[in-house]
């Protein structure tokens, strides 16, 4: 085995057996209409780092972190590399209660009931979702059971798939290091109780579409979430690759690769994404920098970007719209036009 392969194998074993110390993912909501939480940051690697270690440490999906840091070897980044750590999120649309899982984002949001006299909070974690013909269900469901050290009883279809691949499964997998459910599981009403939010014995895969329809979290994240979630908690599973928010008159856009019915990510159709942006903006009168917005939609890396400004209809109109702010790289793009998303 090469030196590269030896180190990769050792790191993988450490990640499967060890316990990383994740950063807190609890954000205070200072007002009922707050739509954005968190901050992005940049860190400098040390020699021992891998992007998989950093993803788990900062509670980010490994694919997301790799996508945001192109050109950096995920296994051997080396010392002194600048790594962008995403941590700023637009809250998902709809009622902010219970658990919300946004499939394209590969992320779970939990809105616990606030304690008397205490501010509201949101807690967020990266997740894995269903793949291939194993579909993570959309819609509203709820937690029907909590299980510590769960026993995995694979369905007949799962056992047939494994048998066809030369990897037969027993009828029951007891709790322990070989159990893919990890140490904690929240059973959902969807699918007659066959779908769960649970941990994993393969944390390197969190953030990837690799499950049989269930929703997986890092072991440290599910250990934090499990005791907070009571039976009966509503769980809403959505498929929203585009999220927008207004902050101080600026239109923020967050775009993720869309997923198909089987949970697989695919390249976005920018024209369709642009229409989703128009739909999300609705009837608001806004000056959108469409050249920059299309760049953000094409990239679909989940980083928030300011793509428009709320129009001031009370100001004199000389027929020209002020351009929306954009990075220096986009400064030479054509001027934007005022649109009401029609």
Q: Which residues are catalytic?
A: 198, 214
CA distance 54 to 49: 7
Paired tokens of 161 = 């798939």
* Helix, strand, coil share (%) of the chain residues, nearest 5: 25, 25, 50
Place of tokens 């269903």: 130
What's 312's DSSP letter?
A: -
* Residue 336 near residue 321 (C-beta atoms within 8 A): yes
Q: Where are the alpha helices (DSSP H) in 87-181?
A: 156-164
Pairing relation of β-strands 41-44 and 82-85?
A: antiparallel
Paired tokens of 34 = 């707050």
Q: 326 phi and psi, to 5 degrees? A: -150, 160
Provide the 3-class DSSP secondary structure of residue 239. Answer: coil
């Amino acid at each position: 085995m090469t030196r590269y392969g030896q180190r990769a194998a050792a790191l993988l074993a450490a990640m499967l057996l060890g316990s990383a110390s994740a950063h807190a993912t609890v954000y205070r909501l200072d007002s009922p209409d707050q739509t954005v939480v968190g901050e992005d940051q940049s860190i400098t690697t040390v020699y021992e780092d891998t992007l998989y270690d950093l993803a788990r440490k900062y509670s980010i999906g490994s694919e997301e972190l790799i996508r945001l840091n192109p050109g950096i070897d995920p296994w051997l980044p080396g010392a002194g590399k600048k790594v962008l750590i995403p941590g700023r999120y637009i809250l998902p649309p709809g009622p902010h209660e219970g658990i919300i899982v946004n499939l394209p984002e590969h992320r779970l949001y939990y809105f616990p009931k606030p304690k008397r006299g205490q501010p509201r909070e949101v807690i967020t974690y990266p997740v894995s979702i269903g793949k291939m013909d194993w579909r993570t269900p959309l819609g509203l469901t709820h937690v029907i059971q909590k299980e510590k050290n769960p026993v995995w009883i694979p369905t007949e279809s799962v056992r047939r798939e494994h048998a066809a691949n030369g990897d037969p499964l027993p009828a029951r997998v007891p709790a322990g290091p070989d159990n893919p459910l990890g140490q904690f599981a929240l059973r959902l009403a969807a699918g007659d109780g066959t779908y769960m939010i649970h941990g994993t014995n393969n944390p390197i895969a969190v953030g990837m579409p690799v499950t049989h329809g269930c929703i997986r979290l890092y072991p440290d994240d599910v250990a934090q979430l499990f005791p907070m979630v009571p039976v009966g908690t509503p769980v809403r599973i959505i498929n929203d690759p585009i999220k927008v928010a207004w902050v101080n008159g600026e239109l923020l856009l967050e775009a993720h690769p869309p997923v198909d019915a089987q949970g697989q990510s695919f390249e976005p159709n920018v024209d369709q994404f642009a229409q989703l942006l128009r739909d999300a903006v609705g009837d608001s009168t806004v000056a959108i920098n469409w050249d920059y917005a299309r760049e953000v939609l094409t990239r679909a890396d989940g980083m928030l970007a300011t793509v428009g400004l709320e129009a001031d209809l009370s100001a004199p109109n000389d027929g020209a719209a002020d351009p929306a702010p954009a990075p220096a790289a986009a400064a030479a793009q054509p001027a934007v036009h005022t649109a009401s998303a029609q």
